[in-house]
Amino acid sequence: MSDSRPAGPAAVELHSATIGYGDVAIVRDVDLTIGAGEAVAVLGSNGSGKTTLARGLLGLATVLGGDVRVLGAPVGGLRERGRVGYVPQRHTVSGAVPATVREVVGVGRLARLGLLRRLRPADRAAVADAVAEVGLADRLDDPVASLSGGQQRRVLVARALAAEPELLIMDEPTAGVDSASQESLATVLARISAAGTTLVVVTHETAPLAGVLRRAVVVDHGRVVHDGPLSQAAAHEEPGMHHHPPGREPGGYRQDQPTVTTRSRRPGDQEH
């Protein structure tokens, strides 16, 4: 799919990039180029640094070294940020004040509208379409807190879809989602991928999206240890199996593994 595409600027470009939190490096020395229109799975065991890598692209984790470019611009330098969509791994559903599916997904659309423009009828239609695509059309005006966990994840997918982004970064969109919904997610992703959207999908389950994602990047202990067709990545994502590139000592990664577990506070925890 990607080979037939015109050679524009790459959607994602990392050159010996090091990404982390505060001054603790988590993802180290990564070289990675994802062309416009590609559909890439990011695989790896728990704690390997997949989320950190994704957050680095979004300006939510710190680029500590090297070069990270998204849609041709350095992180944070992209003018129309609505061109990048994001499905976070965790949602901070505060739940304090009820909000409907329509309201939460509407936020995704806002990202396209600059600072003062309000949602117009076309935007509202896009919001409703996005919700329908994740199979929640009959829940549009229900409070999000009344949805099940898997349905709430689908709301977050809809929120990202509503922005109609050029680059869609999804962090485990299928976690906790039933197989019927996974299939319909695969259908949606296939459609937007065919329309030219670049997909970067962090996942542990490649099977449901195998028809869409062609290339796999396997992260292990903060480094990219495999980059190639998804079909060849299976061995790398098996739990407990760490494949290391030739010439590297197995365990060498462990030594430079940061002792982040001793940090008691994370940047995301600051609010009270």
Ligand X SMILES: Nc1ncnc2c1ncn2[C@@H]1O[C@H](COP(=O)(O)OP(=O)(O)OP(=O)(O)O)[C@@H](O)[C@H]1O
224 backbone dihedrals φ, ψ, rounded to 5°: -80, 120
What's the closest the beta carbon of residue 44 comes to Mg ion, in angstroms? 9
Q: Which amino acid is at 243?
A: H
Q: How far is the CB of 50 from ligand X (least distance, A)?
A: 3
H or E element that contains 161? helix 149-162
Nearer CB in complex with ligand X: 162/201: 201
Task: In whole angstroms, give the CA distance from residue 18 to residue 55.
Answer: 12
Choose, by CB under 5 A, the member of 2, 89, 100, 184 that binds Mg ion.
89
Count of residues that interact with another protein, criterion CB under 8 A? 51
CB under 5 to 8 A by kind: which of Mg ion, ligand X, another protein, none does 147 bind? another protein
Backbone angles phi, psi at 263, to 5 degrees: -75, 125
Residue 82's alpha-carbon distances to 107, 140, 232, in angstroms, are 11, 22, 33
Binding status of residue 226 toward another protein by CB under 8 A: no
Q: By CB under 5 A, is residue 174 in contact with Mg ion?
A: no
Tell whether residue 175 is a contact of another protein (CB under 8 A). Answer: no
Residues of span 53-92 touching another protein by CB under 8 A = 58-60, 78, 80-82, 84-86, 88, 91-92
Shortest distance in whole angstroms from residue 116 CB to ligand X? 32
98 binding partner (options another protein, ligand X, Mg ion, none; Cβ < 5 to 8 Å by kind): another protein
- Strands, E assignment, the chain: 12-21, 24-34, 39-43, 62-70, 73-74, 84-87, 167-171, 198-202, 215-220, 223-229
* H/E stretch holding 189: helix 179-194
- Asked if residue 188 binds another protein (CB under 8 A), the reply is no
Residues that bind ligand X (CB under 6 A): 21, 24, 26, 44, 46-52, 89, 260, 263, 266-268
